[in-house]
Amino acid sequence: MTPPGTKRQPQEQLTGREKRMVKNRDARRIEATTSNDQVLKQGTPLTAQQHANARLDQINTLQTSIKNASYAVNVLAFQSVPRDLRRRTASHDARRLPQKLRERAAKEIAKAPPVKRKPRRCMRNPRPKSIKDEYLRRQRNKKWLETHIWHTKRMKMMDIWGYRLALHPNVKAERPCYRAFSHLSLLHDASYYGCLEWKGNLQSIVSILEQFMDPFMPSVGSVRYIKGQRIGHGLLYHSYPTRFFCPVTFLWRYHEMQQDQSQLWMWIHPSVFPSVLSHFQNVVKDIQDIELLDLRNKLVRFDFTGPRSTALLQSILDPVDENSNNGRLWRNLSQLRSSSSLPCGSVLGFTVKDPRLMFPQKVPPRINTVDLSHTSRIQDLCANWPSSAALTDIWDRHLCDSIHSNRPSDHSLFLRRQDLQKGHTATTSPVPLPFTQSDSCIPILLVQRGSPSSVQSNLNSNMKEFSEGWSLILPRGWGMAFWKSFIFAGARTSGVRDIRAMHFEAGLASFPYDYPGTPVWEDLRQSYKQQAAQVWEKRPPAKRANYDVLGVSHPFEAAFETLVDPASSTNYWVIQEKQLLLHALSSLAATATVVDLTAALQRRQILTDVDTVNKTWGAALVKVRLVLTEKGKPVQNATIHATNRKDITSSPFGYMTTAGFSLTLGCGAGTGACTLDGIQRLIKGQSTSDDITTIHKQKKSQALPQLSVFIKNPSSDKYRSALLSMII
């Protein structure tokens, strides 16, 4: 832009921004007016006609300047709305805009010239007779969530894992989403996670699941989980430890029945749900007292992240019985600042009113002071969480189906609200409807989405909020009723890409993007490789990186198979638990270990031999977190090196699976995986003998040390220093 006081450049030398500024400045300039009458000399009398003519010229000049300035404005009424609230139809339908902008938009639409549309040559598909049949036809190859129609108007959609899911908002929303889950509330429809229900004898269910779960994590039949007060986390294997399925969460039903009538819900990622379901069906096909049920279309799940999530849920979830134990418990949490203060995995179940009755709800403003009585009450609840807090009717399938079939329509509620407004002053805002006995009562489950105990030791207080929050479980058919209330109350929506970014900011691995060795990760790897190669080939040779000169043999993929020992009996696999990693490091170092792998396998009845496990260390990988210590930003598939010398000693021993600029740390960071042998050599080279002994004999709650490494992007020959920490 031209500095003030300098000579203006010729019009053809101005940039587009400078041309617009010149145009707007000229349009707003009021030119000096000169009267057609002769200039009066000093002392000459002034007539009324001469005075009126001079003022008339000034008025005409002002009107012309105002008109020109209004034409120079480049922002229309529908462009004045925030980007995340804009609609495509708002440019020709003023009713789609806020009320304060409708009058201005109507004038702009009236002045706009008619749009000449070319006649379409192709035959348009006939309108379907039934919109329901048309929607079912579109779901032949993939499934829709209950909030699908809402997402398609506002977010980029993608066919993945058998669903049509929202990938990210249509507008630039990376930083707004970061502000939402760090300061406000971020909402995500996680109903695509499959729920598998186990019914039958408690001991039979536990004995089967323990054979395929990680032996170093708390058992599914642990006392902390079996009462139904807390949700549990586990690692599910097809064959321990080399064939990994996915991380899972599970919840037992709270009841006082016999053990033969136990129920367990297990949430599984949709990419592996068919494989897990088929695997367990083959396992229990000969067992009479266990029944498996697929609940993928029976439940709705919303995930909330951020410090304002509790206040938002308090404004929407209104208990039917405020005097019940769980109703009072929920209201006692109204001043809770963060769900991380509650016991990890706490479960609260109660019955709420239809949120459409009070729509639209608003979140009360944040207060800076909290009464001491509320603080002491919250502290008592955190120390002694009630045993009956998880009691709810959402486990009853017949009741949930009845609530779904008897759900009042939006039109019936509109007629009730219209009758209520008769005789009152006309208002544009909806009038709340009083709750009656005929209104729907929806049983829900509210879960504090805590992290596994093995992960909590690696998180600081700031990043802990990114990985924890609330999960709301609803019966089917009630997704949109609650979703609209959450949106109007101020929650910001997120897609699959935003959830991956949230895990990246928290320093956690995101399934399946950061879990090499799994079949779903291999599919993502091939898809990314194909897309990146197509983008690279479209560029001219002078404008793209020459990977042959840079010495990069796999620029578009993380080729872990080239890093592990080719003589290993298995494919590369990832160590998922800290105790197993300590056992592996001790085995390679030929030192005494405090981890008894044999006892752990026998205790869980896992049919795996320790000698067989020890033979697979050459193909083992370790998940790592890397943070740059200098300027620069790593990219996906960047290589990890022990030194920055360009020789044979600098061969890579790991790849980054997720990388970028961290808004939390203010520097480049990422997640990846390294070979176990490379980690062992790195520890030996950067630690003393006493430090190595301490690493091999440390406790589970202690964090592993950070190591110095170097990162090299595929399109660069520069090595950037970074700190490596193991995600276990």
Q: What is the pLDDT of residues 33-60, one digit of tens each?
A: 655 555 566 667 778 888 888 888 888 8
pLDDT at 2 over 60: no
Long-range contacts of 251-257 (CB under 8 A, 24+ apart): 251/225, 251/347, 251/445, 251/447, 252/225, 252/226, 252/227, 252/228, 253/228, 253/395, 254/227, 254/228, 254/229, 254/347, 254/349, 254/387, 254/388, 254/390, 254/391, 255/228
The most confident of the ranges 39-53, 530-544, 559-573 is 530-544
Strands 573-575 and 620-628: parallel
310 C-beta neighbours (distance < 10 Å), count: 23
In angstroms, the CA 182 to CA 308 distance is 9
pLDDT at 629 over 70: yes
Of 719, 716, 727, 557, the C-alpha closest to 626 is 727
Alpha helices in 539-577 (DSSP H): 547-550
For residue range 296-343, list pLDDT tens digits in order: 989 999 999 988 899 999 999 999 998 888 998 998 888 887 788 888
In angstroms, the CA 705 to CA 457 distance is 13
For residue range 385-403, list pLDDT tens digits in order: 888 888 999 999 999 999 9
Q: Which is more confidently placed, 227 or 81?
A: 227
For residue range 342-394, list pLDDT tens digits in order: 888 899 999 999 999 998 888 888 877 777 777 888 888 888 888 888 899 99
Contacts of 70 (CB under 8 A, 6+ apart): none
Sign of the dihedral through C-alpha 418, 420, 425, 428: negative
In angstroms, the CA 78 to CA 93 distance is 10
DSSP symbol at 230 = B
345: left (phi over 0), alpha (psi -120 to 50) or beta: left
Mean pLDDT, range 481-493, rounded to an integer: 93
pLDDT for position 628: 95
Band the pLDDT of 198: cuts 50, 70, 90: very high
Measured between its terminal Cα atoms, the distance across the chain in Å is: 52
In angstroms, the CA 315 to CA 636 distance is 41
194-296 shares its CATH topology with 519-726: no
Give the length of the chain: 728
pLDDT at 415 over 60: yes
Indicate yes or no: pTM above 0.85. no
pLDDT for position 418: 86
DSSP symbol at 80 = S
Q: Are 200 and 290 in contact (CB under 8 A)?
A: yes
Lookup: tokens for 217: 């994590």
Q: If residue 726 lies in a helix (H) or strand (E), which one and from where to where?
A: strand 720-726
Lookup: tokens for 225: 């989980």
pLDDT for position 71: 58
Contacts of 354 (CB under 8 A, 6+ apart): 408, 439, 440, 442, 481
In angstroms, the CA 181 to CA 308 distance is 9
Q: Are 700 and 455 in contact (CB under 8 A)?
A: no
Band the pLDDT of 709: cuts 50, 70, 90: very high
45 C-beta neighbours (distance < 10 Å), count: 6
The three-point CA angle 573-574-578 to 5° equals 145
In angstroms, the CA 234 to CA 266 distance is 10
Strands (E), 287-362: 290-294, 299-305, 347-353
- Top CATH class of 194-296 equals alpha beta
Alpha helices in 469-616 (DSSP H): 479-488, 496-506, 519-538, 547-550, 578-589, 597-603, 610-614
Strands 194-200 and 290-294: antiparallel
Domain 519-726 grouped into CATH 2.40.30.110: yes
Q: Which is more confidently placed, 209 or 459?
A: 209
Domain ranges of the chain: 16-36+46-72, 194-296, 519-726
The three-point CA angle 250-253-254 to 5° equals 130
Give the torsion through C-alpha atoms of 423, 427, 428, 429, to 10 deg. -90
Of 461, 472, 263, the C-alpha closest to 350 is 472
pLDDT at 664 over 50: yes
